[in-house]
Amino acid sequence: MKVLYEIGYINPDLISGDVDEFLKLLKSKTNRMVWRAMIGLATIAEKKPGEIWANINDVVYAVEHGTLITVVWGVKTLAIVASTDKKYSERIFPFLIEQLTNCIPRDLLLHAESILPAVDSENKKEFLAVLDSRKSELKPSQLARHKKLLRILEAKQL
């Protein structure tokens, strides 16, 4: 599994045919297999959003019940899938906002950066409202990263 997702970092096309295997492994009883499968899905999400969408409930379940690594890569996977189709975004973006709202402060900016691809002109205000509401939870060292995130979002031209 590790070799597969490492290949996916370099060239997702080489492992995109394994999407069904990654999706099956989300139901594994071994946490390591679940988070490795989620990393694999994140690397190919842009190539196979329809296949991931067809199994959206399994992906969401894995994020809701997974380890920290599964959650981090699951948010990234879901954001990429949401960015590819308005219908996908309508279902996924509220879940991503829920993750952003409820995550521990340490993970707030990591999740926000992962969610950026799914932010569009229709949901930008909601995304910014959550970031703003949680700004007081950030340490001074995190505020620079917060400002950078806002600059990236402004440059995105929604």
pLDDT for 27? 97
Compute CA distances 109 → 137, 139, 141, whole Å: 11, 11, 12
Q: What is the pLDDT of residues 18-64, one digit of tens each?
A: 999 999 999 999 999 999 999 999 999 999 999 999 999 999 999 99
Residue spans of the domains in the chain: they are: 2-155
Distance CA 42, CA 155 (A): 24
More confident residue, 158 or 36: 36
Distance CA 69, CA 126 (A): 25
pLDDT for 2? 87
pLDDT for 68? 96
**What is the mean predicted confidence (pLDDT) over 111-116?**
98
Q: Extract the tokens encoding 93.
A: 């973006």
pLDDT for 146? 95
Distance CA 97, CA 57 (A): 17
CATH topology of domain 2-155: Leucine-rich Repeat Variant (1.25.10)
Specify the amino acid at residue 151.
R
Give the H/E segment covering residue 102.
helix 86-102
pLDDT for 86? 97
Q: How far apart are the first and last CA of the chain?
A: 37
pLDDT bracket for residue 67 (50, 70, 90)? very high
Is a pLDDT exceeding 90 seen at residue 157? no
Is a pLDDT exceeding 80 seen at residue 88? yes
Distance CA 81, CA 50 (A): 8
Q: What is the pLDDT of residues 93-108, one digit of tens each?
A: 999 999 999 999 999 9
Is a pLDDT exceeding 90 seen at residue 1? no
Q: What is the pLDDT of residues 126-149, one digit of tens each?
A: 999 999 999 999 999 899 999 999
Contact 59, 35 (CB under 8 A): no
Specify the amino acid at residue 119.
V
